């Protein structure tokens, strides 16, 4: 192959790789919804015993409540695990959500 063709193939391949890596479709479960699912799971796990409800049952209840599947949940966890910097943002948002729930509970008679 000539140098010109190799160089064009190199640029084309580089463009393709950058284009594909730049196409971040986002997590299967949108962030706002995932925060609610994640927090609900944490709350239920921390307030119940596995003797009362098996973990799988707890997850099923939460997933049904939010209309998500375990596959979507696991894929969303994988999405955030592959982008650790996004966990920081998610945890900050989840903390704010929990604080909101706490204030709402305290304001009720």
Tens-level pLDDT at each residue, the chain (109 residues):
566 665 655 545 554 444 444 556 889 999 999 999 999 999 888 877 666 777 788 899 999 999 999 999 999 999 999 999 999 999 999 999 999 999 998 988 7
Of 58, 62, 61, 57, residue with least CA distance to 29: 62
Would you list the domain boundaries of the chain?
25-107
Give me the pLDDT at residue 18, please: 42
Give me the pLDDT at residue 78, please: 96
Give me the pLDDT at residue 108, please: 84
Give me the pLDDT at residue 20, please: 46
Give me the pLDDT at residue 4, please: 60
For 47-83, b where at least 16 C-beta lie within 10 A, e where not — what string?
eeeeeeeeeeebbeebbeebebeeebbeebbebbeee
The pTM assigned to this predicted structure is: 0.71
């Amino acid at each position: 192959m000539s140098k010109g063709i190799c160089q064009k193939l190199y640029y084309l391949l580089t463009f393709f790789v950058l284009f594909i890596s730049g196409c971040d479709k986002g997590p299967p479960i949108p962030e706002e919804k995932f925060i609610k699912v994640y927090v609900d799971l944490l709350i239920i796990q921390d307030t119940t015993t596995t003797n009362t409800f098996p973990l799988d049952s707890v997850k099923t209840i939460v997933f049904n409540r939010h209309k998500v599947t375990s596959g979507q949940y696991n894929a969303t966890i994988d999405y955030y695990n592959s982008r650790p910097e996004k966990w920081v943002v998610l945890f900050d948002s989840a903390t704010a959500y929990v604080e909101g729930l706490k204030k709402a509970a305290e304001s009720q008679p």
